[in-house]
Amino acid sequence: RDDGPPKEILDFRDNSKDGEYWEALTRIIPKRTLKLWDALGAALLEYHKVLSRRSELLSEATVLQKQNS
């Protein structure tokens, strides 16, 4: 019984435009947006450093208050 085309034909796929497809995916997010995200990431890291230092200073102040009382 014939079930259709041979398996070799079914496995064939036209991949001639695969490179164009993947190249196009690298440009989905505009460079301007990526630069903005990079800047925001850097700013958040700096903010995290400030908050961490503030937390350390608050802990030190609490210890000093206990010593003074």
pLDDT digits (tens, 9 = 90+) for 20-38: 999 999 999 999 999 999 9
What pLDDT was estimated at residue 32?
96
Token pair belonging to 21:
């497809």
What pLDDT was estimated at residue 63?
96
Name the more confident of 9 and 15: 15
What is the pLDDT of the chain when averaged over all its residues? 89
What pLDDT was estimated at residue 15?
86
**Contact residues for 4 (Cβ-Cβ < 8 A; gap 6+):** 10
Which whole number is the average pLDDT over 51-69?
96
Alpha carbon of residue 25 to chain centroid: 15
